[in-house]
């Protein structure tokens, strides 16, 4: 069935809720409205207000309430309306959700999912374009998943819901309705922590995740014309991070670019490069490169072009690394 | 004192000019007709500018926009009582008040068109930038109030949020601290009955927003937010109390969002249209109009002309905003720090080269 | 109903057994003497265990520790009303209640000695782990309550914090949501008059903590927190209301921290010693003792023996905790996720090798 | 005058408050108690309750209140009692403090300092041993400073107070009273954004900050005995990060180790390595190494030894890199 990312996510939620009545959704405007992006559309009607819960405007409470529900044996799926509004919940996420299992040496666990749209490129107001995924990726005890396509979104969300650990599920807002693809109607899973080999190639490894994937593919197609063969990896889960697959690829190609929507400093790309440069040191034929946003606050739409990564930037970087 | 007579436990809401434009002469604030005229003009301008913004958005000429329709009195009343050096701390739905304060409409438009220069206010206006993270602005309002007293400025801070905003931790921490420090702040909650799709009754189980003041040992009052005179009177008293060292007040402006939450929203998904219809009968602008007519503050001809005047201003402002050049690369980088760090400079130079080579 | 008669606007605090051990026979809860005896024993055990912890810390055998002295009744009363499947959500100063609930003292000690196994509770106890970030535990208490209703467990959640905790955003968001969802929770604030060095009067400008309930449209009551009978009675009623679908209640337990904030603190830096002296006269344990004597629930000899019993238990628990082996490398790594990620496994193996080579 | 880090910080605060009455301190227990580590001791008595403000227990408010004070022209210095209790303030710090200047294109600025103790090694309760400095380091608009010694602490704090931008000032709790050194009694400044060359050397570059510095020096002294000459750099400011100095050093030595107290993933060390491996690529004679904590929650004291970095770990790493 053809689905875009929104309908694929909706399908994942509906299937899982159908199969497991310990699952409940909570967040701002997730009910009648179906969330501001309509990911939860129709679910309240179908599963009732007890299982699709419109909460007051309180992000810290949403995270904490989900924590308690999970501790009591439910499988809550919380929605933060945008990543930029998840910051009030960081204390609960860092101080409780990530640690409850370790703090209690396993007496209590917090199997929950916190979904949120993230990323720029949707011409939005301030705070609606954040990509601070490395805040989450650095917290031990959390898993952080970022799908890049409708099918990936469905399979990864189902895995996240079934996972015994808390998962931060970041949905690239820009890709919600960017394209559709064939997606299985039934449930299926995609393992957390395994990257996806999007395309094999010999000359250079390009790694990305989320909204960067379609742009990376544009760029790699364009350099193929000039004879550069790219190996493309979609990281899919940034925590745990499948650096093994990336390192294996770099050992083969000798060259690597990490494409990251977020600003440069202390992002996920830097972690990957630190691992690569340590473990693929002798294989590297050129300096590992990053293509990232500059270290500035995401500009409002009129200035976004100075921030957002486009295919030219990636292509130029490929040419630079190849010709090193 | 109004704040005593209408304290949150009184069970009464302050109305001076009711929805049929009946006037409570005893409580009526003393306003000379020039002021009333200006208030009327401002409300009209706000309404016309707001409608225009919705159209601009629909035409792809503006970004997501939160309509103000129906809430004009709630921000205008307080704005009318602000002193020159007082602070106007807004959220994102206070257009009428901002226009009274002197915010150039083109700058307002520019912000919603997605340009940071929309927030590049003349510091003398003492308006803080738009604050999108709901209720977070209340925390810095407390700081402004603290500084006001420390610097012996004798100013009052007027801080706005919505009914949804009252559920945020920041609302609580701010009102509590303002109470403890006895600071000169007027907290105005525009209770427009909805927070996107969540009705007021599901936002909090308290009967009124005003009674939340009791948790902080501060004054509270529920005011008919569509009644410009009541909003004026309550704000004036609260500001005076604050200026005289009497501490903060929470004003619940009981009003209604006649439009969608934003231009991306479709209110029909979650509320019955009759509700909005009913509230249209209580439209603050109509009420003002009736008042202006009944008191003969303006002739019918003059009233007509106010709309014309507003339309002209709005068109000019839209034009100015639209013809403002987009931010340059320099704009986008330069204000991260007072001076660019070397890392940033390197990134800037790189982008500059890219730009020039294109 | 107590919760009505002593509502926060009544200006009254509920006391049943006053500081001179005068009893209000009318309000007195029905407790048979075995229960009273057990309560007395638990208070003594708590007191002895608490004093011991302070000594252990001073001797370098325990980490930073927050003394409970003087607050025994405030957590014990509610604990006595908890059903088997109810949840006990504590912060960090609820020893007496925990002991009643059945938390093994050695495990309590183990936690404060710096071992995560101190939180490895038997899930049947339904005690959540220590929560250090003040008031944050209130947010998951709401979730537990939601689940309780959803799962038709008919349980009540008892959630504790301090007077300082009432200033946190999480306190507000939690009480508000509990009100909106009408959840079965009893929120107990141990108002011990201080949050480290900040006196209650500077924590909030409200006259009482109990009146904060009004902001959330829920029940509130101020209770003499050093009166075990009043704490019992109020909690029992609040729990019953909750269990019958009547929603949450906020109980302010008006008490006093007789000791330092923690063993790292020196209260003489910020409060006059007379204050603590005065409160010693209101010590909940003395009051209980007077009650036990006056009702002749225990003979003098038996009373003596309770202290001996407690000392023995405490020594045993301290010994057990101290002789518990420290966490292994495996302990420290294994509980980050259900199963170790490959990155973690690599780090673990590396450490393992280091350890073995030493 | 001999000062430990606490007295040095106290001296910086006192001097600056004496000279500039727009400065005020706010936080929990900063008044009569002088803060839980006594850094603000005596200041309330000296400067009054108006300038040394005990706030309610509300971290988000503390950050926001400081923001407002700064916008109004004051120079607030806020204290978070521990880094682990700064998370409730992250929303205000990320969404307002870091952005007010850019958001208003310079109409409003927020010159403030947020001080907080950070780091493990003090046998503390849960949440009292955090080192999540890379959360702060990645936010554009913030500066992040970490002193390692009493003298550094004083000079850097004075610079931070005088800086026109918001500064997160992280004080290694472990070093508060670890040692004393000679510190000027008067005011002096140390530039933000400039690392310190602690020791020149030829064979390998070791970079660290904060509480790691004394441990690094122990390790480098111990390897000197076996003839390894270390160049040691104290980063001092992690944002802006003086990667230029580090890169220069690595180009000279060809080998590098970054020592980071925090867990490995997405830390400041990964950023430094990403920059080094890109810009000193051809000079690297061995894979760049990190010595960091494992990716786990800081254990409670009884298990801390499995987390905290000791000199042996650094020494072993040096030997490994040297013998590559
Ligand atoms: C912290 C935060 N969470 C979520 C949002 C998304 N959001 C924008 S407006 C809004 C509702 C606000 O309701 P209210 O405070 O009543 O103001 P109104 O929109 O009705 O004027 C929400 C949830 C936000 N801007 N900030
Ligand atoms: C979020 C947070 N901020 C600061 C602290 C440090 N701290 C520990 S206890 C305490 C005071 C708590 O006061 P109160 O809630 O009255 O409880 P009490 O200690 O009096 O029992 C503070 C500030 C903390 N633990 N958590
Ligand atoms: Mg609203
Ligand atoms: Mg207290």
Give the torsion through C-alpha atoms of B7, B9, B14, B18, to 10 deg: -170
Residue C193 has pLDDT above 80, yes or no: yes
- Closest residue of chain D to C171, computed from CA coordinates: D58
State the distance from the centre of ligand 1 to the C-alpha of D140, rounded, in angstroms. 25
Distance from CA of D294 to the nearest CA of C (A): 6
For a pLDDT cut of 70, what percent of chain B falls above it? 100
- In chain A, alpha helices (H): 5-19, 43-47, 59-71, 90-92, 100-103, 133-137, 150-162, 212-224, 243-253, 268-279, 311-322
Q: Nearest C-alpha to atom 21 of ligand 1 is from which residue?
A: B162
DSSP string, C110-132: HHHTT-GGGG---GGG-B-----
- In chain B, alpha helices (H): 2-5, 33-58, 72-80, 95-101, 105-112, 137-150, 169-180, 200-203, 228-243, 273-280, 284-294, 300-323, 329-334, 342-356
Residue D283 has pLDDT above 90, yes or no: yes
pTM, entire model: 0.99
A281 touches chain D (CB under 8 A): yes
Cβ(D153)–Cβ(D13) below 8 Å = no
- Cβ-Cβ contacts under 8 Å for D271 (sequence gap 6 or more): A265, A266, A267, A270, D134, D137, D241
Residue C161 pairs in a beta bridge with C189
Q: How far apart, in whole angstroms, are the C-alpha atoms of residue B245 and residue B92? A: 29
D157 cis-preceded (ω within 30 degrees of 0): no
State the distance from the centre of ligand 1 to the C-alpha of C87, rounded, in angstroms. 33
Cβ(D298)–Cβ(C114) below 8 Å = no
Domains in chain C (CATH in brackets) are: 2-327 (3.40.50.970), 328-358 (no CATH)
Rounded alpha-carbon distances, angstroms, from residue B31 to B77, B102, B298, C72, C325: 12, 19, 15, 60, 79
A60 touches chain B (CB under 8 A): yes
- Cβ-Cβ contacts under 8 Å for C44 (sequence gap 6 or more): C285, C306, C307, C310
Ramachandran angles phi, psi of A258, nearest 5° = -105, 130
Q: Which two tokens stand for residue D280?
A: 């000193």
Cβ pair A313:B354 closer than 8 A: yes
CB within 5 A of ion ligand 3: which residues?
A: B 162-163, 192, 195
Residue D307 has pLDDT above 90, yes or no: yes
Eight-state DSSP code of residue A241: B
Domains in chain D (CATH in brackets) are: 2-182 (3.40.50.970), 196-322 (3.40.50.920)
Cβ(A12)–Cβ(A167) below 8 Å = no
Nearest atom, ligand 1, residue B190 CA:
21
Q: How far apart, in whole angstroms, are the C-alpha atoms of residue D115 and residue D136? A: 12
Q: Is C233 exposed, middle or buried (0-12, 13-18, 19+ CB in 10 A)?
A: buried
Q: Is B151 exposed, middle or buried (0-12, 13-18, 19+ CB in 10 A)?
A: middle
Residues of chain A with pLDDT under 50: none
Cβ pair B204:C180 closer than 8 A: yes
Q: Is B255 exposed, middle or buried (0-12, 13-18, 19+ CB in 10 A)?
A: buried
Both ends of chain A: CA-CA distance in Å? 45
How high is the pLDDT of residue B246? 98
How high is the pLDDT of residue C80? 98
For B15-55, write each residue's pLDDT tens digit.
999 988 899 999 999 999 999 999 999 999 999 999 999 99
For a pLDDT cut of 90, what percent of chain D falls above it? 100
Cβ(C37)–Cβ(C246) below 8 Å = no
Residue C358 has pLDDT above 90, yes or no: no
State the distance from the centre of ligand 2 to the C-alpha of C260, rounded, in angstroms. 13
Arithmetic mean of pLDDT over chain C: 97
Q: How far apart, in whole angstroms, are the C-alpha atoms of residue D9 and residue D133? A: 20
Q: How far apart, in whole angstroms, are the C-alpha atoms of residue B146 and residue A132? A: 32
Chain C CB contacts of B172 below 8 Å? 167, 169, 171-173
Instruction: Determine whether the shortest distance from the Cβ of C164 to ligand 2 is under 6 A.
Output: yes
How high is the pLDDT of residue D297? 98
- In A75-167, alpha helices (H): 90-92, 100-103, 133-137, 150-162
Q: How far apart, in whole angstroms, are the C-alpha atoms of residue B306 and residue B302? A: 6
Classify residue C114 as left (phi > 0), alpha (psi -120 to 50) or beta.
left
Place of tokens 């000199």: D311
What's the angle, vertex CA C141, arms to CA C139 and CA C143, rounded to 5? 80
State the distance from the centre of ligand 3 to the C-alpha of C167, rounded, in angstroms. 24
- Closest residue of chain A to B336, computed from CA coordinates: A296
**C-alpha gyration radius of chain D:** 19
Helices C284-294, C72-81: crossing angle, 10 deg rounding: 60
How high is the pLDDT of residue A139? 98
Both ends of chain D: CA-CA distance in Å? 45
**Over residues B243-251, mean pLDDT:** 98
Residue B301 has pLDDT above 80, yes or no: yes
Instruction: List, edge to edge, every strand of the sheet that includes C219-224.
Output: C87-89, C157-162, C185-191, C249-254, C219-224
Residue of D274, D295, D299 to mutate when probing chain A, most A C-beta within 10 A: D274
How high is the pLDDT of residue B168? 98
Nearest atom, ligand 1, residue B261 CA:
19
Helices D150-162, D5-19: crossing angle, 10 deg rounding: 30
Q: How far apart, in whole angstroms, are the C-alpha atoms of residue B322 and residue B326? A: 9
Residue B264 pairs in a beta bridge with none
C199 touches chain D (CB under 8 A): no
For C26-70, write each residue's pLDDT tens digit.
999 999 999 999 999 999 999 999 999 999 999 999 999 999 999
B150 touches chain D (CB under 8 A): yes
Residue D7 has pLDDT above 80, yes or no: yes
B337 alpha-carbon distance from chain centroid: 29
Arithmetic mean of pLDDT over chain B: 97
How high is the pLDDT of residue B358? 77
Chain B CB contacts of A123 below 8 Å? 63, 114
Q: Which residues of B touch C (CB under 8 A)?
A: 9, 167-173, 176-177, 179-180, 182, 202-207, 211-212, 214-218, 247
Ligand 2 mutation target, pool D54, D63, D78, D81, most atoms within 8 A of CB: D81
Chain D CB contacts of A276 below 8 Å? 277
D130 alpha-carbon distance from chain centroid: 12
Residue D236 has pLDDT above 90, yes or no: yes
**Over residues C273-291, mean pLDDT:** 95
Question: Which of D60, D128, D301 is nearest residue C169 as measured by Cβ atoms?
Answer: D60
How high is the pLDDT of residue C219? 98
For B211-230, write each residue's pLDDT tens digit.
999 999 999 999 999 999 99
Residue C21 has pLDDT above 90, yes or no: no
Instruction: Determine whether the shortest distance from the Cβ of C69 to ligand 2 is under 6 A.
Output: no
For B154-212, write each residue's pLDDT tens digit.
999 999 999 999 999 999 999 999 999 999 999 999 999 999 999 999 999 999 999 99
Buried b (16+ CB within 10 A) or exposed e, A268-281: bbbbbbbbbbbbbb
Chain B CB contacts of A84 below 8 Å? 132-133
Ramachandran angles phi, psi of B221, nearest 5° = -155, 140
Cβ(D113)–Cβ(D164) below 8 Å = no
Q: How far apart, in whole angstroms, are the C-alpha atoms of residue A315 and residue B68? A: 45
A156 cis-preceded (ω within 30 degrees of 0): no
Cβ(A263)–Cβ(A133) below 8 Å = no
How high is the pLDDT of residue B261? 98
Chain D CB contacts of C267 below 8 Å? none
For a pLDDT cut of 90, what percent of chain B falls above it? 98
- HSE at residue D111, side-chain half, CA atoms within 13 A, is 17
Q: Which two tokens stand for residue C65?
A: 């520790």
How high is the pLDDT of residue B21? 86
State the distance from the centre of ligand 4 to the C-alpha of C163, rounded, in angstroms. 5
């Amino acid at each position: 069935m053809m689905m875009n990312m929104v309908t694929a996510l909706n399908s994942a939620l509906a299937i899982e809720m159908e199969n497991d009545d310990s699952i409940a959704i909570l967040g701002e405007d997730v009910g009648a409205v179906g969330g501001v992006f309509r990911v939860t559309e129709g679910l309240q009607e179908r599963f009732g207000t007890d299982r699709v819960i419109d909460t007051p405007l309180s992000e810290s409470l949403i995270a904490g309430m989900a924590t308690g529900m999970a501790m009591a044996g439910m499988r809550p799926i919380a929605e933060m309306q945008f990543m930029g509004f998840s910051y009030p919940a960081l204390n609960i996420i860092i101080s409780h959700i990530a640690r409850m299992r370790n703090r209690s040496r396993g007496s209590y666990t917090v199997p929950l999912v916190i979904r949120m749209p993230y990323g720029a490129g949707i011409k939005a107001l301030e705070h609606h374009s954040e990509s601070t995924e490395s805040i989450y990726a650095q917290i031990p005890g959390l898993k952080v998943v970022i799908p890049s396509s409708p099918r990936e979104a469905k399979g990864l969300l189902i895995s996240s819901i079934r996972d015994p650990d808390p998962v931060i599920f970041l949905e690239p807002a820009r890709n919600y309705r960017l394209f559709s693809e064939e997606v299985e109607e039934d449930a299926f899973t995609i393992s957390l922590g395994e990257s996806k080999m999007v395309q094999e190639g010999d000359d250079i490894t390009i790694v990305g995740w989320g909204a960067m994937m379609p742009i990376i593919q544009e760029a790699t197609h364009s350099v193929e014309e000039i004879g550069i063969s790219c190996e493309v990896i979609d990281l899919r889960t940034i925590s745990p991070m499948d650096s093994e697959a990336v390192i294996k690829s770099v050992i083969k190609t000798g060259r690597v670019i990490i494409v990251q929507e977020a600003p440069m400093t202390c992002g996920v790309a830097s972690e990957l490069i630190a691992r690569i440069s340590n473990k693929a040191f002798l294989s590297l034929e050129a300096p590992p490169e990053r293509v990232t946003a500059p270290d500035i606050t995401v500009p409002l739409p009129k200035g976004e072009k100075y921030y957002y990564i486009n295919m030219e930037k990636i292509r130029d970087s490929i040419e630079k690394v190849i010709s090193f | 004192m109004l704040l005593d007579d209408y304290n949150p436990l009184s069970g009464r809401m302050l109305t001076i000019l009711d929805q049929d434009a009946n006037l409570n002469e005893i409580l009526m604030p003393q306003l000379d007709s020039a002021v009333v005229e200006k208030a009327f003009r401002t409300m009209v301008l706000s309404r016309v500018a707001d409608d225009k913004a919705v159209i601009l958005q629909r035409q792809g000429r503006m970004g997501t926009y939160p309509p103000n329709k129906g809430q004009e009195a709630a921000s205008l009343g307080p704005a009318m009582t602000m002193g020159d050096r007082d602070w106007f701390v807004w959220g994102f739905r206070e257009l009428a008040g901002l226009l009274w304060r002197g915010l150039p409409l083109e700058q307002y438009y520019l912000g919603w068109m997605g340009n940071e220069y929309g927030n590049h206010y003349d510091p003398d206006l003492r308006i803080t930038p738009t604050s999108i993270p709901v209720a977070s602005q209340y925390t810095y309002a407390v700081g402004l109030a603290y500084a006001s007293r420390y610097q012996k400025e004798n100013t009052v801070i007027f801080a706005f949020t919505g009914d949804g905003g009252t559920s945020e931790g920041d609302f609580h921490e701010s009102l509590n601290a303002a109470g403890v420090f006895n600071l000169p702040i007027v907290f105005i909650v525009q209770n427009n009955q909805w927070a996107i799709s969540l009705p007021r009754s599901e936002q909090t189980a308290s009967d009124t927003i005003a009674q939340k003041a009791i948790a902080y040992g501060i004054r509270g009052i529920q005011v008919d937010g569509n009644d410009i005179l009541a909003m004026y009177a309550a704000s004036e008293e609260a500001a005076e109390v604050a200026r005289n060292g009497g501490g903060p007040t929470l004003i619940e402006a009981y009003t209604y969002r006649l439009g969608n939450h934003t231009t991306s929203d479709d209110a029909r998904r979650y509320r019955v249209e009759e509700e909005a219809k009913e509230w249209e009968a209580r439209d603050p602008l109509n009420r003002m109009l009736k008042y202006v007519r009944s008191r003969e503050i303006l002739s019918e001809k003059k009233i007509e002309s106010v709309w014309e005047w507003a339309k002209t201003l709005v068109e000019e402002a839209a034009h100015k905003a639209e013809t403002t050049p987009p931010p340059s690369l320099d704009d986008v980088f330069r204000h991260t720090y007072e001076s660019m760090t070397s890392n940033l400079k390197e990134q800037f130079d790189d982008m500059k080269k890219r730009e020039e080579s294109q």
